[in-house]
Amino acid sequence: MSGGGLLVAGTTSDAGKSVVTAGICRWLVRQGVKVAPFKAQNMSLNSFVTREGAEIGRAQAMQAQACRIEPTALMNPVLLKPGGDRTSQVVLMGKPVGEMSARGYHGGRQEALLGTVLDCLAELRGRYDAVICEGAGSPAEINLRRTDIVNMGIARNARLPVLVVGDIDRGGVFASFFGTVALLSPEDQALVAGFLVNKFRGDVSLLEPGLEMLHGLTGRRTYGVLPFQHGLGIDEEDGLRISLRGTVRESSTAPPVGEDVLRVAVCAIPLMSNFTDVDALAAEPGVVVRFVDRPEELADADLVVIPGTRGTVQALEWLRERGLADALVRRAAEQRPILGLCGGFQILGEHIEDEVESRRGSVDGLGVLPLRVRFAREKTLTRPVGEALGERVEGYEIHHGVAQLTGGEPFLDGCRVGQTWGTHWHGSLESDGFRRAFLREVAAAAGRRFVPAADTSFAALREEQLDRLGDLIEQHADTDALWRLIESGAPQGLPFIPPGAPA
């Protein structure tokens, strides 16, 4: 028998679909329900490697953690990784299958993937009591509806009830709810069960007349009003918000353990990927993390991080154009700490040979670390485990660049020269013992009287966040009604709201 299901759609991108999906998943698993997340198609540069070596969106990996299960490729069968304004790498079932323009993808390739997507969803529903699906953008993108496989396309084919989330903090939420329904075909509208208001500030009683009018206009109820809460960020699909940074910045109860703070500057390079790597730094009391794009902003930094990128050569050119490259070379010569992660590691090397990603051929790197990089067509997707600074480290690798080391001190399959460190390993800073040891080295090199907290557990902080999301659903949504939706589908006889989708 197939398990229940629900599609969490949104009035816009960043309406809160990922947060709501994770919250529903955590609420369900706390009720003893076997639940899994699903997103048919994700567009993101923040990805993760599953234990079987498949690349999926980090949001789905986080949602799997909310479900207390291991993430798999079934949970995100299609991942699009932008390589510029008009092209993306298509990752199918965790493996890259080529680059494609948006026109080419929406012109036929996307529709052809519907069978694969439905098979994955059916397999999950066969294994779990419930599958909570996340949509993408808005379901009312009328120009893309014909080839849609992530919003109403998947809802129609799998007969999923749809909950539409709106961010009231942006304003216009009533118009957005009404307009979303009114731009769908009668068949699609029949699956839209109702609404969920996200990020509400103030007295809910003041909102209730509007919710009653919305019900009168659409025949659909509102399943909950979630209050605005600070520090609830999770692994973002894209953008420059990082999940735990906000929590640390707002915390007045976690001052530095030592006498000084530690300032971390992250270079905001183009096509930045897996910037969530620095979340673990921001989780440490007394560590201040900020993104920078000017050389003068490196001056007072105790540590500079060059993060991963989907465009190593483009990022290198950007660093040179802005004067950041020269500042980084000077910084390395002065023995001031730099950490390069994945693409950032490659940038710090002597030479890059790229006929795959940028197709620029031979390019000189910054020459700070003794390595040469050659881009291979096959992507490295692994979950390495090792040791550094006397501590056990776990990470994951996602890269086409193959590093040939010609010197330096070994460091997580990369190398270290003086106070410049480089590795392909994402997620290494989430290993608590290693992170503390690394920060002690940075503080010593920077001359800061900073002391890492002895008890900061990144995994525990993540669990706290997921529980807070579950609490939001449990305390502010009609969970009985939500469960009826998941188990039985959309209510029968929902009215059609004109004009409907264009012919």
The active-site residue, picked from 133, 267, 342, 415, is: 342
pLDDT over 70 at 243, yes or no: no
Q: What is the mean pLDDT of residues 81-107?
A: 80
**Once rounded to an integer, what is the mean pLDDT over residues 83-95?**
84
CA distance 117 to 39: 9
Count Cα neighbours of 153 within 13 Å in the Cβ-side half-sphere. Answer: 23
Task: State residue 236's pLDDT score.
Answer: 54
Q: Tell me how far CA of residue 403 lies from CA of 285, 329, 374, 399, in angstroms.
A: 34, 20, 7, 10
Q: Taking residues 302-327, what's their average pLDDT?
A: 95
Looking at residue 447, its pLDDT comes to 94
- Say whether pLDDT at 394 is over 80: yes
pLDDT of amino acid 82: 86
pLDDT of residue 252: 37
Residue 415, beta-bridge partner list: 410, 422
Question: Average pLDDT for residues 268-272, to the nearest whole number?
Answer: 90
Active-site residue, from 399, 400, 426, 476: 426
426 in active site: yes
pLDDT of 256: 82
The DSSP string of 271-284 is: TEE-GGGGHHHHTS
- Provide the pLDDT for residue 244: 37
Per-residue confidence band for 253, with pLDDT thresholds at 50, 70 and 90: very low
Residue 239 has pLDDT above 50, yes or no: no
Mean pLDDT of 222-247: 63
How far apart (Å, rounded) are the C-alpha atoms in residues 327 and 16?
38
Strands 287-292 and 262-267: parallel
Q: How many helices (H) and strands (E) does the chain have?
A: 17, 27
**pLDDT at site 106:** 64
Q: State the average pLDDT for the chain.
A: 91
Express as a percent the part of the chain with pLDDT over 70.
93
pLDDT > 70? residue 284:
yes
Question: Which pair of tokens denotes residue 144?
Answer: 């893309």
| Contact indicator for 176, 21 with CB cutoff of 8 Å | no
Q: What is the pLDDT of residue 237?
A: 53
Q: Which of 253-257, 361-365, 393-397 has the lowest mean pLDDT?
A: 253-257
Q: What angle do CA 292, 298, 302 make, to 5 degrees?
A: 110
The packing angle between helices 58-66 and 458-476, to 10°, is: 70
Q: Give the mean model confidence (pLDDT) for residues 425-443.
A: 96
pTM: 0.91
Average pLDDT of span 55-70: 95
**Over residues 148-168, mean pLDDT:** 95
Q: What is the pLDDT of residues 408-421, one digit of tens each?
A: 999 999 999 999 99
pLDDT of residue 442: 97
**Element (DSSP H or E) covering residue 30:** helix 17-30
CB-CB contact of 18 with 59 (8 Å): yes
Q: Distance between CA 265 and CA 304 in Å, rounded?
A: 5
- What pLDDT band is residue 111 in, cutting at 50, 70 and 90? confident
- Going by pLDDT thresholds of 50, 70 and 90, the confidence category of residue 503 is confident
pLDDT recorded at residue 1: 52
Question: Residue 238 has what pLDDT?
Answer: 46
Counting residues of the chain whose pLDDT is more than 90, the rounded percentage is: 79
Residue 337 CA, distance from chain mean position:
27
Q: What is the pLDDT at residue 84?
A: 67
Q: How does pLDDT run across 112-145, given as a tens digit for each residue?
A: 889 999 999 999 999 999 999 999 999 999 998 9
Q: Which two tokens stand for residue 138?
A: 């808005």
> Is residue 251 predicted with pLDDT exceeding 80?
no
